[in-house]
Chain A
Amino acid sequence: MVPLSWYLIFSAILFSIGLFGVLSRRNLVAILLGIELMLNSVNVNLAAFWRYGTVTNITGQVFAIIVFAVAAAEVSVGLALVISVYRKRNTVIADEIDMLKF
């Protein structure tokens, strides 16, 4: 049987990789990709705690579903912003979008 710690460490590594992507990539779309990884690591944790806690208490899965909805909302608005910025400034590099107004 797989101990709980393996899942937790797996999701911690996934979270750190996503965090690195968010902090270091220049492209806005790539930053959003990193955020997706971080949200997924959270979902792995929620599902693992559901499985290793009381299985009949479904809370972990409900939270994971809410995270799915939030992720979908975040991606749709985020990519719409990226495309809008690209139309106005012709760039998707985060460093070059520094005008503080839009």
Chain B
Amino acid sequence: MTIDQIIFLVVAVATLIAAFRVVTTGNLIHAAFWLIAALFGVAAIFAILHASFLAVVQVVVYIGAISILFIFAVMLTRKDMRDQGPQLNRNWGFGAFLAALALVGLVFLVHGWSGVTKTAPAFPSEFDAVSALGNALVSPDAYVLPFEVASVLLVAALVGAVYVAYNRK
């Protein structure tokens, strides 16, 4: 086992444990903090994959904004303090069955695919992924339309969130 594989396994196992705690822990604030741990793990996976821009954006967007938003939301909706009761609904067994089925199906598909044993090509040392990404996002030949649509989506979400959550009193 090489050092790359050991690092990957450590990060992956830590991330999966954190993710498992997100869906099982009773205290919702703890679930949100476990989510942050899992997101850090995913950021580390991005860094291992040489996707440095994604890793940093993961920390900025998910940990800096989305998790804080989750923590705010959990604290704003805790007046009845009901996180003592059961956290899973009646059909949790069926949910677990479906999730396991999805996992088995995905692993079966991955296993059956021929490209799966492929190893990564050497990373071209001259290649600047960040500037390539920037060019791709604003180039008319590439992804300028999805990029603009995503920005419109963000504005719509911003306006919609303010409208929905605004307290008209």
Chain A residues with CB under 8 Å of chain B are: 1-10, 12-27, 29-30, 32-34, 36-37, 40, 43-44, 47-48, 50-52, 54-56, 58-59, 61-62, 64-66, 68-77, 79-84, 86-87, 90-95
Q: Which residues of B contact A73 (CB under 8 A)?
A: 153-154, 156-157
Q: Which residue of the partner chain A has the closest CB to B8?
A: A2
Q: Which one of B80, B111, B116, B147 contacts A3 once the chains associate, using CB atoms below 8 Å?
A: B116
CB atoms of A77 and B161 under 8 A apart: yes
Q: Which residue of the partner chain B has the closest CB to A73?
A: B157
Given the known interface contacts A5-B117, A48-B49, A79-B73, the answer about A33 and B132 at a Cβ–Cβ threshold of 8 Å is no
What DSSP secondary structure best describes chain B's contact surface? helix
**Binary interface profile of B, 139-169, with partner A (CB < 8 Å = 1, else 0)?**
0001100110011011011101110110100
CB atoms of B69 and A75 under 8 A apart: yes
Q: Which residue of the partner chain B has the closest CB to A81?
A: B164
CB atoms of B89 and A47 under 8 A apart: no
CB atoms of B124 and A55 under 8 A apart: yes
- Output the residue of A9, A40, A54, A71 with the most chain B CB within 10 A: A40
CB atoms of A15 and B23 under 8 A apart: no
CB atoms of B117 and A3 under 8 A apart: yes
CB atoms of A83 and B76 under 8 A apart: yes
Q: Which residues of A contact B83 (CB under 8 A)?
A: 27
Q: Which residues of B contact A51 (CB under 8 A)?
A: 49-51, 120
CB atoms of B87 and A25 under 8 A apart: yes
Q: Which one of B28, B74, B110 contacts A9 once the chains associate, using CB atoms below 8 Å?
A: B110
Q: Which one of A19, A86, A95 contacts B102 once the chains associate, using CB atoms below 8 Å?
A: A19
CB atoms of B165 and A83 under 8 A apart: yes
A59–B167 CA distance with the chains assembled, in angstroms: 41
**Binary interface profile of B, 87-114, with partner A (CB < 8 Å = 1, else 0)?**
1110110111011101100110011000
Q: Which residues of B contact A62 (CB under 8 A)?
A: 133, 136-137, 142-143, 146-147
Q: Which residues of B contact A68 (CB under 8 A)?
A: 57-58, 61-62
CB atoms of B16 and A94 under 8 A apart: no
